[in-house]
Amino acid sequence: MLTKRIIPCLDIRDGETVKGVRFTGIRRAGDPVGLARSYARAGADELVFLDITATVEKRNTFAELVQKIAHNINIPFTVGGGIRSEEDVARLLDAGADKISINSAAVRDPAVIDRLAGRFGSQCVVLAVDCKRHGDRSFVYLDGGRTQTERETLPWVREAEARGAGEILLTSMDHDGTKDGFALEITRKVSGSLNIPVIASGGAGRPEHFLEVFREGKADAALAASVFHFAEIGITQLKQYLHENAIPVRMT
C-alpha cells in the first residue's frame, strides 16, 4: 500500500511566508528558507511553495528564492504561482524544483497542460484547483481565489488528467484557514473520479482532520500551512498519530 503524504505549504508574498483565512486576512508566518529546512528535518514528505500574488500581479515566480529553498532541503518540492509557459517551468526546474503547480493559466488555456506534460513529463505537472461550493455544485476559481469561472470542479479535473496532469492539488476555499476540517465530500468525489494522486488542502486544524481526509476523503496526501507554521501540530507527532490509526505513512 502506498504511504500517505504530509505536505506543508509555504504561501509566499514579498519573500515571506504568509497565511490567511479563505484566501483573505493575510498575516506573516516566517522565513520560507528556515521553515523549509525545519519541515524537511521534521519528516515532511514534500513541500509546496506558492507565490500567491504572482498571477494577479502578472509576474513570474522568483527563481532565486526557489533555488535557496532547494539547496536547504532533501525532499521533493513543488513550485507554483505565475507560471504561464514552458520557459517558466524550465527556469523553475533548473532552479531546483521537482514539480510545478499550474492553475489560472491552465484554465485559460487548457492545452498548456498537454504541452508541459509532453515536454517535462506528467510527473512534473501538478494542477492546482481552487474550488468553492455554490449550492450542490463546486466551481473553479482563478487569480488566487479572486475570479470565479463557469468551470465545475469534477469535469475540470477529469479533463486535466486526460491532458496529462500527474497530480491534483485540491483546495477548498470554503475551508481554507478555518481549521474546521478538510472538505471531505468534494475530496472524495475528485479522488474517486481520477487515477492520479489527489492532495487535499484547506481546513486542517487537528490531527483528526488528517485521519478523516485519508479515510473518508480518500486523499493521497494532505497539505496544511498555519497549523505547521505556528507549531499547533508537529509533523512527527501527526505521523505517529496516523500510524497508530492504521494510516500508512513514512516514519523517520
pLDDT per residue as tens digits for the range 43-79: 999 999 888 555 444 445 568 888 888 899 999 999 9
d(CA 54, CA 62) in angstroms, rounded, equals 9
pLDDT per position as a tens digit, 109-153? 999 999 999 999 999 999 999 999 999 999 999 877 788 999 999
d(CA 21, CA 226) in angstroms, rounded, equals 10
Whether 10 shows a pLDDT value over 80: the answer reads yes
Q: Where are the domains of the chain?
A: 5-244
Using a pLDDT cut of 70, give the percent of the chain over it. Answer: 88
Q: Tell me, yes or no, if 176 is annotated catalytic.
A: no
Catalytic residue, from 45, 51, 88, 130: name it.
130
| H or E element, residue 240 | helix 235-244
> In CATH, what number does 5-244 get?
3.20.20.70
d(CA 219, CA 188) in angstroms, rounded, equals 7
Buried b (16+ CB within 10 A) or exposed e, 73-106: bebebbbbbbbbeeebbebbbebbbbbbbbbbbb
The single residue listed with the C-alpha cell 492545452 is 111
Q: Tell me, yes or no, if 130 is annotated catalytic.
A: yes
